Structure 1
Amino acid sequence: MTDTIARYFAAFNADDTEAMIDCLADDVAHHVNEGNIRIGKAKFRDFCAHMDRCYKENLTDMQIFVSDDGTRAAAEFTVNGTYLATDEGLPEATGQTYKLPAGSFFSLKDGQITRVTTYYNLSDWIKQVSA
């Protein structure tokens, strides 16, 4: 299952949403940091389109951990980003850059991701883009 998670993040860094979606189960549960749970590939695709409009991000320092039975995984990484367009309810975007530690948690079944949960410190991000 490490391969599935590695492919997912490689696709993220390549700005290849469809390759990310190929790693997901049809009924994937996407738990967004500070947001609602989104069910299904269509909602995941919509989320990615929004993110691509507002942010340009690359993940580094990737460490992936998978449970012995292959049903759960986690990843720790650094988000290196640029704030491209103002996101609703957040500070105005002027091309600010940011660098944040973050983590994702996954449930896996039959070689596909059935749950993605991502966390980062929103207060830290706001402080960085507001400086």
Structure 2
Amino acid sequence: MREATLKLIQDYYAAFNAGDMARFLDLLTDDVIHDINQGGREVGKEAFAAFMERMNGSYREELEDIEVMVNGDGSRAAAEFVVLGTYLKSDEGLPEARGQQYRLPAGAFFDIRDGKVARISNYYNLEDWIRQVSQAAA
């Protein structure tokens, strides 16, 4: 189970980095729980897809230095990584987008059910991101 979960999370991030949203979403349960960094909770693949569409319109991101950790029975996982991004389009309540680049350490926690991601909780330092995009020149 641990190896299957490790591969699932590696595939999840590979699909993200490739911009393959169909594959990315296929790795989720239909009732996936998404805990948004410093935000609310959304439930369901449709809500997650809408979130990703908005994110992909405002940000171009690639993850590097991805380290995945899996618990003993493969039911939970965590990942630590660095987000390399470009702020493309202003997001509501955030600084104006001018093509600023950012580099942001981040992490995520997962629950796994039936070989798919059943919960994803992402964490990063929003104040650090705001500082980076506020100071960056386009």
The alignment's TM-score, normalised by the length of structure 2, stands at 0.94
Residue 54 (structure 1) aligned with residue 58 (structure 2): yes
* CA offsets 1:56-111 (integer angstroms, 9 cap, x no match): 00000000000010000000000000000000000000000000000000000110
Residue 112 (structure 1) aligned with residue 116 (structure 2): yes
Instruction: Pick the aligned partner of 1:97 from 77, 98, 101.
Output: 101
Counterparts of 2:22 and 2:42 in 1: how far apart (Å)?
17
Counterparts of 1:15 and 1:48 in 2: how far apart (Å)?
11
Structure 1 position 46, deviation (Å) = 0.1
SS of residue in 2 equivalent to 1:95: coil
Structure 1 position 36, deviation (Å) = 1.2
SS of residue in 2 equivalent to 1:78: strand
Structure 1 position 18, deviation (Å) = 1.3
Superposition CA RMSD, Å: 0.5
Unaligned runs of 5+ in 1: none
After the TM superposition, which residues 114-129 of structure 1 pair with which residues of structure 2 at under 5 Å, given as runs?
114-129=118-133
How many residue pairs were aligned? 131
Counterparts of 2:72 and 2:39 in 1: how far apart (Å)?
30
The alignment's TM-score, normalised by the length of structure 1, stands at 0.99
Residue 78 (structure 1) aligned with residue 87 (structure 2): no
Residue 24 (structure 1) aligned with residue 28 (structure 2): yes
Instruction: Pick the aligned partner of 2:9 from 5, 9, 17.
Output: 5
Identical positions, percent: 52
SS of residue in 1 equivalent to 2:72: coil
Unaligned runs of 5+ in 2: none
Residue 43 (structure 1) aligned with residue 44 (structure 2): no
Counterparts of 1:127 and 1:38 in 2: how far apart (Å)?
27
Amino acid at match of 2:8: T
Counterparts of 1:5 and 1:107 in 2: how far apart (Å)?
11
